Amino acid sequence: MGAGKLFAGALAVLAAVLLVQGQSTFSGTPLGLDLYMPAPDDNPLTAEKVALGRKLFFDTRLSRNQTVACASCHDLKHAFTDGKPLSEGVFGRRGTRSAPTLVNRGYGGSQFWDGRARSLEEQVLKPIQDPNEMDMTLEEVSSRIGLTRQEISRSLSSYLRSIRSGNSAFDRHVNGDPQALTEEQRRGLQVFRVKGNCNACHVGPNFTDERFHNTGVSWREERWLDEGRFGVTMRPEDRGAFKTPTLREVALTAPYMHDGSLATLEDVVEFYNRGGKSNPHLDSEIQPLHLSEEEKRALVSFLRALSGEIIEGAH
């Protein structure tokens, strides 16, 4: 048997093992992402569940007045965000945080800006019950659409696992394409890795450490407008801490931060260049960067190179 066949056989065995352990493989996984997607043992990925979840994602019957669907706040055109500072639900009710992108959330750990959901299965049910989003009970939704709570949870979470973004210019650069990044973007990558210290938090294939950091965004007039992770853990050191978002497709997900308070990538870079906003629990990694105007432009240019190919609905 040739080396190629041996390698292919080894991959097949590995895939089988991971499937048994509650993971799944995707055909056509975008470049730069893990081939294997974690999934709970009791909710293995299937094409049927992904397809049902996709239907539910666009179904306005999940909301009280049947005007809001999951897709209302998570639009493919905005990399599964809504382009608004704060999300808007039924009857024009406005939430307190920006809708986070859903790309590559299947690779993540806890969900929401404050990490209050420990799994996608738990996460997908919360907007349905939130008075400012869909304002329904799970019993009402189950009766209306004819599916059990478990079927809703498992199918919606399966669909979310299918939403992936990769194959960006950066990914092609890493994989040996010398023309993938412009000269300015290559300088921006250097700033990202060294002087900017961006990869202290934005690490790995998904450009997030999946942890919670205080950058001072929510600190205004000597008080917290939003206490973030503290609302979940009740630990004082978590006041004002929010989960590191992925930088995949970041050029499409404006406005930025948990409250949508920064309109552009240039604003974000300037915020971090100043060292965030000083407060009693500012993360130790947040320090003034002293970037030149050229370095700021290069960093923004590199961040735009993290937009690639978004795939959804495939298994």
Instruction: Give the separation between CA 151 and CA 142, rounded to whole angstroms.
Output: 9
Q: Output the pTM of the full model.
A: 0.90
**Do residue 98 and residue 124 come from a single domain?**
yes
What residues have CB less than 8 Å from 209, skipping those under 6 apart?
A: 201, 202, 203, 244
Please give the DSSP secondary-structure letter assigned to residue 246. Answer: P
What separation in angstroms does the CA of 75 have from each of 41, 163, 174, 246, 276? 29, 12, 29, 16, 29
Instruction: Give the separation between CA 253 and CA 255, rounded to whole angstroms.
Output: 6
Banded model confidence at residue 17, pLDDT cuts 50, 70, 90: very low
**Do residue 151 and residue 205 come from a single domain?**
no
| Residue 124 belongs to some domain of the structure | yes
| Residue 260 belongs to some domain of the structure | yes
- Which of 144, 164, 184 lies at the terminal end of a domain, its last residue? 164
At residue 1, does pLDDT exceed 70? no
Number of domains in the chain: 2
**Do residue 65 and residue 194 come from a single domain?**
no
| Residue 158 belongs to some domain of the structure | yes
Please give the DSSP secondary-structure letter assigned to residue 225. Answer: S
Instruction: Give the separation between CA 60 and CA 29, rounded to whole angstroms.
Output: 30
| Residue 48 belongs to some domain of the structure | yes
**Do residue 86 and residue 213 come from a single domain?**
no
**Do residue 283 and residue 184 come from a single domain?**
yes
Question: Both ends of the chain: CA-CA distance in Å?
Answer: 31
HSE-CB at 88 with a 13 A cutoff on CA atoms is: 9
Please report, for the domain that includes residue 261, its CATH number.
1.10.760.10
CB 218 within 8 A of CB 240: yes
pLDDT in tens, 215-270: 999 999 999 999 999 999 999 999 999 999 999 999 999 999 999 999 999 999 99
**Do residue 148 and residue 173 come from a single domain?**
no
Closest CA to 163 of 285, 74, 261, 236: 74
**Domain carrying residue 223:** 167-309
**Do residue 81 and residue 177 come from a single domain?**
no
Banded model confidence at residue 15, pLDDT cuts 50, 70, 90: very low
**Do residue 61 and residue 151 come from a single domain?**
yes
Mean pLDDT of the chain: 92
Banded model confidence at residue 23, pLDDT cuts 50, 70, 90: low
At residue 12, does pLDDT exceed 90? no
CB 253 within 8 A of CB 101: yes
pLDDT of residue 26: 64
Helix axes 149-161, 47-57, angle to 10 degrees: 100
Q: What is the helix (H) or strand (E) element at residue 272, kind and residue range?
A: helix 265-273
SS3 75: strand
